[in-house]
Structure 1
Amino acid sequence: MSGALDHLRVLDLTRVRAGPTCCRVLADFGADVIKIDAPEGLDPNAGVIGHRHGYDMLNLHRNKRSLTLNLKAPEGRALFLEMARNADIVVENFRPDVKTRLGLDYEALSAVNPRIILASISGFGQDGPYSDRAGFDQIAQGMGGLMAVTGRPGEGPMRAGAAVADSSAGIYAATGILIALAEREKSGRGQWLHTSLLQAQIAMMDFQAARYLVDGEVPGQAGNDHPFATPMGVVATSDGHLNLGVGGDGQWRALCRAIDQPDWGSHPDYATGPERFAHRAEIWGLLRPIFAGRTSADWMTILNEHDVPAGPIYRMDEVFADPQVRHLGIAQSVPHPVRGDTRLVGQPVTLTRTPAEMRRAAPDVGQETDEILKEHGLDEARIADLRARAII
């Protein structure tokens, strides 16, 4: 079992995707993550990303335990603060004002535990003119610039096919938590850290954002082509498509040899990166009929023999059938009492001594409520009373 974070206890107040993604990192590396769920009927948005036994919930909430707790009730809040005394981390992704109204902001948490770390994820930030708005991934993709550079030129904005803002915000929050934990080793004190979908999406734009900030250029849509390297993009074969990744001049010459056109490698219109970019349409016009004459598998063999960067374009079933993906072992199994042996998406980083591990399936709502409360000193009579009054 992974011992990397098994000394940490996390109180998980999150829902939807960004927050659960953050907590999943901690859980997969051994932290005791206690997911705080609302008692049945109290949260109108409880099923926003599907059924508890659905693929998304199973993937987001594995390796966690679940406790039901009504945080709107004074006794529920008091019980949460009592649990916070012995916790290391609280993660939440409410709208910024909600934690304050619940009395669970950093000031309240640090009053009972000065070592606690509070991680907050919001749509647009903890303050500012948009702080009270609801944030969703696609909205952040649009406001963060991703949709304006995605898709074919002239066809209008296009969302990315993955939840880029949600997932990256969760990963940035997890990174912030690990930094705060490292700093706590020196100071002995916790702190409040926060990120947002908007910040994370802008950060993920990386070189496109820097292109504007440094040079004042506003990047546009390039479709499947790289913004400035040619030929780097999608080309059709006789039975499908391939990605070509020809960036440097040496790779261009290698490609020309692979397609039996070595003279193109030194052609004055194509020999350098700037020239190839200036003649992008012409180059693709030369390449397309050549690639259309062979299968994708044939081209992968030829291109690999000539050390030309290229790769197939997979559907998701093909992704997990690929021998390299199978070797990496990113699809990992965990037994589930209803769904049976379930394959989920593992962590994309390998630690040689303390790797991430699938220890347990995502819990049903409140599955470990009694267990967790007994760990905090409540007896069966008190637990029964709390349940009777819908506190848990």
Structure 2
Amino acid sequence: MRSALEGIVVLDHTSALAGPYCAQLLGDFGANVIKIEQPGKGDQSRGWGPPFVGDVSAYYLGTNRNKRGLTLNLGSQDGRDIMAKLLKKADVLIHNVPRKSSRQKLGLDEKYCHGLNEKLIWASISGFGNTGPYAEKPGYDVIAQGMGGAMSLTGEKDSDPMRFPTPIADITTGIYTALSIVTALYARTHTGKGQSIDNALFDCQVTWLANVASSYLATNNPPQKIGNTHPSIVPYQPLPTADGWVIVGVGSEKLWQSFLQVINFSEIAEDKRFENNTLRLQHRQELTELLAKCLRQQNSAYWLEKLQQARIPSGPIYTPQETLSDEHLLSRGMVVELEHPMIGLVKSLGNPMNLTDTPVSYRLPPPLLGEHSTDILRELEYNEQQINELRDQKVI
């Protein structure tokens, strides 16, 4: 099958997570992604460990498949000349250089790049974007999480601010930027021209407020921490059993009636305080205590079987290792195996987007530092002597 982005050339001049994750998504759909790194150093995430697999961090391995690796010293004129040749042929440049002066010095600024190639999609990822009072302010995922509002709401009522355990600002920005790029590529089919993308971790993290933001903007009532519960639905939360936990989502009155039949607990079924969702919200604590008393009479497997027979949204609460060995997840191709030239079989999370005619493909393991430099320079019509000279001069 033809890949959706076959023939699209993407220059990935990013490090850490948001940019590499974005470029990996594009690579999964067939784009020719060239990962450009500084000679001798490379992506900072190469050193983010333990754990390491051989000499490579697991962090780096998780976000850099389906790319070819080129080392390039953009501090040198020869390096900038090579980059200019790449830009003339590329469809997309993704970078995460936050300062305009630095972009100009490296030959990555918007005006210069579009001067070389008016069809280029120029995608900038930064902490706070290229406009506004915080433009060029440095930022990592954890800063965006803190300023994005969700950290102050995560956890139980009296707990300290809590970071989400994975870098959700980076991941979200990577997804939004990939979507922006695909949108810009589609727009180019009509206009014949590229455009610029300016995505910020802060902006993208704020989108996680979603219904919380909508409620606040509608009422001006400050949102409060509610732990594992839902602000508008009860019960919609983890509940304790005799040997662990189950999680349920009773999102309608029809489901509530089915739920009552499953638990068969008269103290709840006959209590007028729980007749409808509005009343259940008013008496959340009392209902939760009674549900815990009921469900602790049987183990999790018992309740899950009953709940699923009644088609009530429910499930176990997995550890990551249980998640990554779940038979359904594995059947959906969500754990990918690729053979790496130095460290053998490398596993990573799969791409969750499933298209019938242009599916994702997994072709290349994460590249070694500069692994494909020679091949890429040959494609730019450099000869062997020139390539050797560039390597001797530490341009590549």
Question: More deviation in 25-34 or 252-261?
Answer: 252-261
Structure 1 unpaired stretches of 5+: none
> Which position in structure 2 is the counterpart of 1:366?
370
Distance 1:20 1:171, change over 3 A: same
Give 1:346's aligned amino acid. G
> Which position in structure 2 is the counterpart of 1:165?
169
- State whether structure 2 residue 29 is matched by structure 1 residue 29: yes
Check whether the contact 1:2–1:356 (CA below 8 A) recurs between aligned residues: no
Q: Deviations over 1:216-251 (max 9, x none)?
A: 222111111112211111111111111111121221
> Which position in structure 2 is the counterpart of 1:322?
326
C-alpha separation between the residues in 2 aligned to 1:219 and 1:382?
62
CA drift of 1:265 comes to: 4.3
Distance 1:86 1:94, change over 3 A: same
Structure 2 unpaired stretches of 5+: none
Give 1:60's aligned amino acid. T
C-alpha separation between the residues in 1 aligned to 2:45 and 2:365?
19
**Pick aligned residue for 1:355 from 359, 363, 370:** 359
Distance 1:44 1:298, change over 3 A: closer
Aligned partner of residue 299 in structure 1, secondary structure: helix
Give 2:286's aligned amino acid. E
C-alpha separation between the residues in 2 aligned to 1:125 and 1:363?
29
Check whether the contact 2:268–2:287 (CA below 8 A) recurs between aligned residues: no
CA drift of 1:210 comes to: 1.3
CA drift of 1:312 comes to: 0.5
Give 1:8's aligned amino acid. I
> Which position in structure 2 is the counterpart of 1:83?
86
> Which position in structure 1 is the counterpart of 2:135?
131
Give 1:73's aligned amino acid. S
C-alpha separation between the residues in 1 aligned to 2:329 and 2:99?
39
**Pick aligned residue for 1:311 from 312, 315, 327:** 315
Question: After superposition, where does 1:211-250 map in structure 2 within 5 Å?
Answer: 211-250=215-254
Count of aligned pairs between the two proteins: 391
Give 2:312's aligned amino acid. V
Give 2:20's aligned amino acid. P
> Which position in structure 2 is the counterpart of 1:70?
73
Q: What is the root-mean-square deviation of aligned Cα atoms in Å?
A: 1.7
Give 2:26's aligned amino acid. L
CA drift of 1:263 comes to: 7.4
C-alpha separation between the residues in 1 aligned to 2:103 and 2:206?
25
Question: After superposition, where does 1:269-308 map in structure 2 within 5 Å?
Answer: 269-308=273-312
Check whether the contact 1:91–1:119 (CA below 8 A) recurs between aligned residues: yes
Q: Deviations over 1:82-118 (max 9, x none)?
A: 1111110000012132213323111111111110011
**Pick aligned residue for 1:148 from 149, 152, 156:** 152
> Which position in structure 1 is the counterpart of 2:56?
53
Aligned partner of residue 311 in structure 1, secondary structure: strand
- State whether structure 2 residue 384 is matched by structure 1 residue 344: no
Distance 1:46 1:231, change over 3 A: closer
Check whether the contact 1:264–1:271 (CA below 8 A) recurs between aligned residues: no
Distance 1:179 1:221, change over 3 A: same
- State whether structure 2 residue 22 is matched by structure 1 residue 18: no
Question: After superposition, where does 1:257-272 map in structure 2 within 5 Å?
Answer: 257-261=261-265, 264-265=268-269, 267-272=271-276
C-alpha separation between the residues in 2 aligned to 1:49 and 1:106?
30
C-alpha separation between the residues in 2 aligned to 1:143 and 1:293?
43
C-alpha separation between the residues in 1 aligned to 2:264 and 2:376?
68
> Which position in structure 2 is the counterpart of 1:111?
115
Question: More deviation in 135-144 or 369-378?
Answer: 135-144
Question: More deviation in 49-58 or 92-101?
Answer: 49-58
C-alpha separation between the residues in 2 aligned to 1:266 and 1:71?
73
CA drift of 1:48 comes to: 4.9
Check whether the contact 1:96–1:127 (CA below 8 A) recurs between aligned residues: no
Q: Deviations over 1:259-305 (max 9, x none)?
A: 11367446421111110000000001111121112111111001112
Q: Percent identity?
A: 35
Q: Deviations over 1:40-92 (max 9, x none)?
A: 15x69464534662222112111100011001112211210111111100000
Q: TM-score, normalised to structure 2's length? A: 0.95
Check whether the contact 2:45–2:57 (CA below 8 A) recurs between aligned residues: no
Question: After superposition, where does 1:182-193 map in structure 2 within 5 Å?
Answer: 182-193=186-197
Check whether the contact 2:265–2:294 (CA below 8 A) recurs between aligned residues: no
Give 1:27's aligned amino acid. G
Distance 1:46 1:256, change over 3 A: closer
> Which position in structure 2 is the counterpart of 1:92?
95
Give 1:353's aligned amino acid. D
Question: More deviation in 154-163 or 138-147?
Answer: 154-163
Check whether the contact 2:92–2:121 (CA below 8 A) recurs between aligned residues: yes
Check whether the contact 2:170–2:201 (CA below 8 A) recurs between aligned residues: yes
